[in-house]
Amino acid sequence: MDAPRISLTQAAIDEIKGMIVRGELRPGDRLPKESELAARLNLSRGSLREAVRGLALVRVLEVRQGDGTYVTSLKPDLLLETISFFTELQAEEASLRQILEARRMLEAGTAALAALHATPEELATLERLVDEMPDLEDVAGFVENDLEFHRVVAVASRNDVVVALLDNLSSRTTRARVWRGLTQSRAYERTVEEHRAIYEALAAKRGDIASAVMTAHIASVASWLEHAAEDSDGH
């Protein structure tokens, strides 16, 4: 009984997405009235209503009570927000390792691009963060510094999609960073050294070196996670 309803709703979603892709609806545009759009797409109002609800959940549409339904900005940071919910749910070590693998691949590329595009202001911010890190007194401050450092590198890549992806992949790794700082005596020193090496490569416009150091840096977090899991199993 439910299959036809689901397929009609999916058809409505596909039609609206098609209108956006073809440029018939642009960011900020208001959708035609429900009755008009349903007739135009040859769909029931019920199917159209469910499609709008679904597209609103993934931030493609915004329903404004008493005003109508609008296409959102469609910016990457908005559309990729749902990834953060996925990463928050992945509590198992295996899932977290996969998230770190994804970060390693993405951040290696952003480091290479940042070497080409980083502004003097961005490089100055990275240098400041590296200089501040040794004097931080608590893990929370260390994690905040670390997150900001990686975000500045990502922004310097000038790729908004990658920035949005990395923003939403960072939520689960925050916990790994905290535990790494708590359980490894040289975590602070090693991370400072790795961050400084990344900064120096970026300042020298050596994307190959920046990419390699970034890869090793994130791999060390994954390695810590693996050893921590083994120690936990051993006990």
**Same domain, yes or no, for 160 and 90?**
yes
Which of 42, 74, 106 is the last residue in one of the domains?
74
Q: Which residues of 2-31 are buried (b: 16+ CB within 10 A; e: fewer)?
A: eeeeeebbebbbebbeebbeeeebeeeeeb
**Same domain, yes or no, for 99 and 194?**
yes
**Same domain, yes or no, for 88 and 31?**
no
**Same domain, yes or no, for 208 and 129?**
yes
Q: Is 69 helix (H, G, I), strand (E, B) or coil?
A: strand
Which tokens hold the place of 36? 């008009």
Residue-range definition of the domain harbouring residue 23: 2-74
- Sequence-ordered list of residues with C-beta below 8 angstroms from that of 128, at least 6 positions apart, any chain: none
Query: CA-CA distance, 174 to 176, in Å (whole number)?
Result: 5
**Same domain, yes or no, for 97 and 194?**
yes
Give this prediction's pTM.
0.66
**Same domain, yes or no, for 154 and 190?**
yes
**Same domain, yes or no, for 188 and 224?**
yes
- Sequence-ordered list of residues with C-beta below 8 angstroms from that of 178, at least 6 positions apart, any chain: 139, 140, 143
Looking at the structure of the chain, the number of domains it has is 2
Higher pLDDT, residue 190 or 77: 190
Which of 11, 44, 74 is the last residue in one of the domains?
74
Which of 33, 55, 74 is the last residue in one of the domains?
74
**Same domain, yes or no, for 69 and 97?**
no
User: For position 165, which CATH number holds?
Assistant: 1.20.120.530
What letter would DSSP give residue 61? Answer: E
User: For position 60, which CATH number holds?
Assistant: 1.10.10.10
Helical (H) or strand (E) element with 64: strand 61-64
pLDDT digits (tens, 9 = 90+) for 129-173: 999 988 887 777 888 888 899 999 999 999 988 888 888 777 645
**Same domain, yes or no, for 161 and 193?**
yes
Query: CA-CA distance, 34 to 36, in Å (whole number)?
Result: 5
pLDDT digits (tens, 9 = 90+) for 53-64: 888 887 888 889
Query: CA-CA distance, 48 to 42, in Å (whole number)?
Result: 10
**Same domain, yes or no, for 42 and 157?**
no
- Sequence-ordered list of residues with C-beta below 8 angstroms from that of 131, at least 6 positions apart, any chain: none
Higher pLDDT, residue 74 or 205: 205
**Same domain, yes or no, for 166 and 215?**
yes
Are 155 and 122 in contact, with CB atoms under 8 Å apart?
A: yes
What letter would DSSP give residue 30? Answer: B
Task: Please report the pLDDT score of residue 207 as a whole number.
Answer: 96
Are 211 and 157 in contact, with CB atoms under 8 Å apart?
A: no
pLDDT digits (tens, 9 = 90+) for 24-80: 989 999 999 888 988 888 888 888 889 888 888 878 888 898 888 999 888 876 666
**Same domain, yes or no, for 26 and 116?**
no
Reported for 141-147, long-range contacts at CB under 8 A and 24+ positions apart, including other chains, are 142/177, 142/181, 142/188, 142/191, 143/174, 143/177, 143/178, 143/181, 146/177, 146/191, 146/195, 147/174
